[in-house]
A and B are shown apart, each in its own frame.
Chain A
Amino acid sequence: MAAVTETLDTVQSVTQSGYKWGFETTIEMDFAPKGLNEDIIRLISTRKEEPEWMLEWRLKAYAAWLKMEEPHWARVDHPPIDYQDLHYYAAPKKKAGPKSLDEVDPELLKMYEKLGIPLKERAILAGVDPDTVENTQVAVDAVFDSVSVATTFQATLRKAGVIFCPISEAVRDHPELVKQYLGTVVPTGDNFFAALNSAVFTDGSFVYIPKGVRCPMELSTYFRINARNTGQFERTLIIAEAGSHVSYLEGCTAPQRDENQLHAAVVELVAMDDAQIKYSTVQNWYPGDANGKGGIYNFVTKRGACRGARSKISWTQVETGSAITWKYPSCVLHGEDSVGEFYSVAVTNNHQQADTGTKMIHIGKGSRSTIISKGISAGHSNNTYRGLVRMLPSATNARNFTQCDSLLIGDQCGAHTVPYIESRNLTAKVEHEATTSKIADDQLFYCRQRGLSEEDAVGLIVNGFCKDVLKELPMEFAVEAQKLLAVSLEGSVG
């Protein structure tokens, strides 16, 4: 609730500082030369100390990628990407970041504070290196706190039998699991960006929840210390054995700037009998400036396989960042009575472009899926919902419900809804509802008459519009997400 009343301050601070990643210090990097070839892939694999089978897997993906073409069916527009002009491996050297919170741009910290991010997380987000702060005073507690939090977490998880580690570590320490599941949900040749990711991925998370285990805490990338240097090509694999439960939080509401323009992540989820995976994302990459210059291209492949009976995979996403978002978190519902859910808020402002949605592939008898998509467009942006619901002949009595709402702010933006429905089973039911609305002048005036500023009013109305999705987010995330929505729409009215 406080989120909304604080919006005014937040908006003002953002207006003054713009989208600010305060310390553009020359971080020393360990770069591979630009370009992509087999040698670069070998270099990545060597740096990650990978076994031979992993290298072969990468090379196979690379060979597939070479034969593929960049897709252009999405409603997004960008200059051609020169794949030979990118670095595919860059590891920041140690001791590069600020040594304590004292050295971090106070504006940046203020922004984190406004977004309600706890002190310890602020330090990590600001890039304070835990290894170098031992002798400095102020930040010590904060940073040490985060280290100890992470350590305590690891101990609790180990006790429950849960594995939560960087994927590169999993390749080395749990090869049998990685081999068994990697690429089984998103095959290496699935699409152009997935193939590229498979060849060159450098980081991401690995999660394994053993049979019958309820993961004792929400797994957040915050607490994986090395997650602060998120890579360009992240790879995440989550396996939930029969009867297990896990909730995973990706990203954070703090602004994240990255010099890497192209991001192509792959996320694979596997849920066995009665297992449940809840995957929540808040994506706030740099969207580019008000004129559409710069910004991240975010081409993501996320897919979950409900392999077991009564298994459930639930995707919740709040997408406010990136210049271009191309993302369709999907569920393949193999299991009888399995459940797929997709809850999405996608906000575009200025010149942002988002083409996002989901695919629900119903294979199992009685499988059910729910899609709730809220698209908000402001400025000169374009926001497209693209969703596929496919009922295969085996999907007897399967059901889907789709609700797809668009909210327009101003008259220079676009909202598009592209549903694809394919049903090959007569007993399957597919329902689709769609609405498009504008924030009406009388709504704004009503709020302002009661004392709210125009920005506060927009924040309130937008949050109301997104309520059905925001309530699916874990508590703390939901509060941050509310504030983030208001910040993202800064300057969109008046």
Chain B
Amino acid sequence: MLDIRGLAASINDKPILKGIDLVVPQGEVHALMGPNGSGKSTLGYVLSGREDYEVTAGTVTFNGVDLLTMEPEQRAAAGVFLAFQAPVELPGVNNANFLRTALNAIRRAHGEPELDAVQFLKLARAETKRLAMPDDMLKRNVNVGFSGGEKKRNEVLQMAILRPKLAILDETDSGLDIDALKIVADGVNALRGPEFSALVITHHQRLLDHLVPNRVHVLAHGRIVRSGGPELAKELEKSGYAGLIAEAA
């Protein structure tokens, strides 16, 4: 269970998150919506431990452990995965090598045996196939020369291979065609289970049609201004955020 209480964070002394309370129970998928600049990506970064952000108040626990005192790689080992809104390019770094290094680092942290290249490729190929992605995705350099859509799909592939316990997807569906959108939804749905939770940041009802979240939250000006069931997303698609924010203000 992800348990966020009174979380406030700033960047360069500018407060962005201003007291977030949010609980994602184990086994649930929650959607996070809200206008541009409201702090959605910031929340993803703070949860995954990006150092530029300063946490000024509040607590975050995941399955009972305090996330905020952990290094980013420790959080990853604890099962936190962030699908970046803007995935980063790593020139010359082979995608398969990158993923195997990451997976083995996580396995090491759990005291599990590392996978050799052959074992890893078997696993990675299976996931690539299941997500209907081209095989050469693994051979290419991490995100280098990828189209916007390919980058997003690569995030989903990484998630599928690393099998996190908490996935935060930051607008992974933005800019995707309908088929690709389905890949994102399939990627999340495949991981769904009693030990998996997800926080899915999106602007689109389309993704939520495939995902069917347990809850939908709306973030505005650094606060959760409204939470509800899946119908909340449908309502927002019709009426927009403006009314909601005015109401909360």
Binding site for B on A (CB under 8 A): 1-2, 4-5, 8, 440-443, 445-454, 456, 460-461, 463-468
Contacts and interface: CB of A to CB of B under 8 A. Distances in A.
Given A5-B105, A460-B98, A448 B77 contact: no
Nearest to A7: B101
Given A450-B76, A451-B77, 14 more contacts: A1-B97, A5-B101, A448-B49, A450-B102, A451-B162, A452-B73, A452-B102, A453-B105, A454-B73, A460-B93, A460-B101, A461-B93, A464-B141, A465-B92
A1 B121 CA distance: 12
B91 A453 contact: no
Interface of B: 48-52, 71-73, 75-77, 80-82, 84, 87-94, 97-106, 108-109, 114, 116-117, 141, 158, 162
A442 B75 CA distance: 17
B162 A467 contact: no
19 contacts: A1-B100, A5-B104, A5-B108, A443-B88, A445-B72, A446-B87, A446-B90, A449-B80, A449-B84, A450-B76, A451-B77, A451-B106, A452-B101, A452-B105, A456-B101, A456-B105, A463-B93, A464-B91, A464-B92
A449 B50 CA distance: 9
Given A449-B82, A450-B158, A450-B162, A465 B102 contact: no
Nearest to A467: B92
B102 A466 contact: no
Contacts of A2: 116-117
B242 to A, nearest CB: 32
A383 B85 CA distance: 36
A449 B73 CA distance: 6
A465 B89 CA distance: 12
A445 B97 contact: no
A454 B74 CA distance: 11
A463 B92 contact: yes
Contacts of A4: 97, 101
A441 B141 CA distance: 18
Contacts of B92: 463-468
A443 to B, nearest CB: 5
Contacts of B98: 447, 450, 460
Contacts of B88: 440, 442-443, 445-446
Contacts of A468: 92
A4 B105 CA distance: 10
A453 B75 CA distance: 11
B50 A445 contact: yes
Contact of A451 (B50, B91, B103): B103
A23 to B, nearest CB: 32
B145 to A, nearest CB: 14
A467 B98 CA distance: 14
Nearest to A464: B92
A336 B10 CA distance: 65
B102 A461 contact: no
B74 to A, nearest CB: 9
A327 B162 CA distance: 45
Nearest to A443: B88
B102 to A, nearest CB: 4
A436 to B, nearest CB: 14
A442 B82 CA distance: 13
A467 B51 CA distance: 29
Contacts of A445: 50-51, 72, 88
A467 B104 CA distance: 22
Nearest to B52: A441
Contacts of A463: 92-93
A468 B91 CA distance: 11
Nearest to B96: A1
A1 B117 contact: yes
Contacts of B51: 441, 445
A8 B73 CA distance: 13
A449 B48 contact: yes
A445 B47 CA distance: 13
The 7 lowest CB-CB distance pairs between A and B, nearest first, are: A464-B92, A464-B93, A450-B102, A451-B76, A467-B92, A448-B72, A446-B88
